[in-house]
C-alpha cells in the first residue's frame, strides 16, 4: 500500500463514520469536538486488541486496498504506536519452535517487520512527539494523522489555521530529512502526513483534509488527494 491509496482508504472510512454518527443525531461539530469518541470510533481505544480498531478492520477487510491477502493482522498500542499492521509472513515461528506450538504463536503479535505504522494526535501543536516516534521506527509506510485549528467565526481565520498546517508539514519534513542524514533507512519507505480541519464558516460545516507524502529522505513533499484517478498526485 502506498500513501495515496492509504489516504483514499482513510477518506472513505471517515466519510462513512461521520455519516453513520450524524444519522444517529450528532452534528458534525459535536462529533468533531468529542475527541475521545472520535479516536475510539476511528483508530480505536487504547490497548484494543485485533478486531477492536474500526479503521484497522476497514484496511484489513477491504479488498480494494489489497490488504485482504490473508492473513493480515493489526494491533493497537504495539510498541506504543496507535495502530500497527503487518502480514502474517512477518511473524515466522521462532527458531527451534515446533509446529505444535504454532497455535500459541499465532495468538501473539510479534512481527519481525512492520508494514504500516499509524499515529494519531489531536493537535498539530504537539504532533512533534508522534513525528519523533515515526522517524525512529522502521516500517514500509509511516502515517501521522493530526488536526489543525478549526476555522470559525470566533476569531480563528483560515489564514491562521493554514499557518498551523504549514508549520506542521515543514516540521515533519525536517525531521524526516535529519533522521535520514543521521541514519538512512530503506529507500522504499514512505511517510504520510494527514491533517484534518473543521471549517465552520458556513451554516453547513465541512471537514477539509490535507495530505502529503515523502520518500524516505524527505527531499520533496508530494501533495495527495483522495481521488483514485488523479494525474497530479499519481
Per-residue pLDDT tens, the chain, 234 aa: give them: 899 999 999 999 999 999 998 988 888 888 888 888 899 999 988 766 656 899 998 888 764 555 545 578 888 888 889 999 998 888 888 888 888 888 888 888 889 999 999 999 999 989 999 999 999 999 999 999 999 988 875 666 778 888 889 999 999 999 999 999 999 999 999 999 999 999 888 888 899 999 999 999 999 999 998 665 455 555
Q: What is the number of helices (H) and of strands (E) in the chain?
A: 7, 7
**Element of type H or E holding 56:** helix 54-61
Cα dist from 126 to 18, 42, 113, 167, 172, whole Å: 25, 20, 28, 12, 12
Q: Which of 97, 54, 91 is nearest to 72 (CA)?
A: 91
CB atoms within 10 A of CB 168: 24
Cα dist from 27 to 95, 156, 200, 203, whole Å: 54, 20, 12, 12
Give the domain ranges of the chain.
Answer: 3-93+100-224
What does the DSSP assignment read for 61-90?
H-GGGT--SSPEEEEEEETTEEEEEEEGGG
Rounded Cα gap, residues 226 and 15, in angstroms: 12
155: left (phi over 0), alpha (psi -120 to 50) or beta: left
Amino acid at each position: 500500500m502506498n500513501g495515496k491509496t492509504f489516504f483514499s482508504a482513510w477518506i472513505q472510512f471517515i466519510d462513512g463514520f461521520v455519516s453513520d454518527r450524524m444519522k444517529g443525531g450528532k452534528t458534525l461539530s459535536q462529533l468533531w469536538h468529542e475527541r475521545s469518541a472520535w479516536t475510539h470510533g476511528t483508530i480505536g481505544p487504547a490497548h484494543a486488541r485485533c478486531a477492536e480498531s474500526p479503521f484497522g478492520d476497514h484496511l484489513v477487510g477491504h479488498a480494494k486496498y489489497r490488504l485482504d491477502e490473508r492473513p493480515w493482522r493489526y494491533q493497537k498500542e504495539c510498541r506504543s504506536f496507535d495502530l500497527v499492521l503487518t502480514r502474517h509472513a512477518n511473524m515466522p515461528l521462532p527458531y527451534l519452535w515446533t509446529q505444535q506450538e504454532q497455535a500459541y504463536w499465532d495468538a501473539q503479535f510479534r512481527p519481525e517487520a512492520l508494514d504500516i505504522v499509524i499515529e494519531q494526535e489531536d493537535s498539530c501543536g504537539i504532533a512533534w512527539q508522534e513525528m519523533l516516534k515515526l522517524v525512529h521506527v522502521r516500517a514500509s509506510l509511516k502515517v501521522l494523522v493530526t488536526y489543525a485549528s478549526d476555522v470559525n467565526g470566533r476569531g480563528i481565520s483560515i489564514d491562521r489555521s493554514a499557518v498551523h498546517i504549514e508549520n506542521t508539514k515543514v516540521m515533519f519534513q525536517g525531521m524526516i530529512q535529519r533522521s535520514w542524514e543521521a541514519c538512512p533507512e530503506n529507500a522504499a519507505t514512505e511517510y504520510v502526513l494527514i491533517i484534518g480541519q473543521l471549517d465552520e464558516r458556513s451554516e453547513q460545516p465541512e471537514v477539509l483534509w490535507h495530505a502529503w507524502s515523502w520518500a524516505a529522505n524527505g527531499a520533496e513533499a508530494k501533495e495527495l488527494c483522495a481521488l483514485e484517478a488523479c494525474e497530479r498526485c499519481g
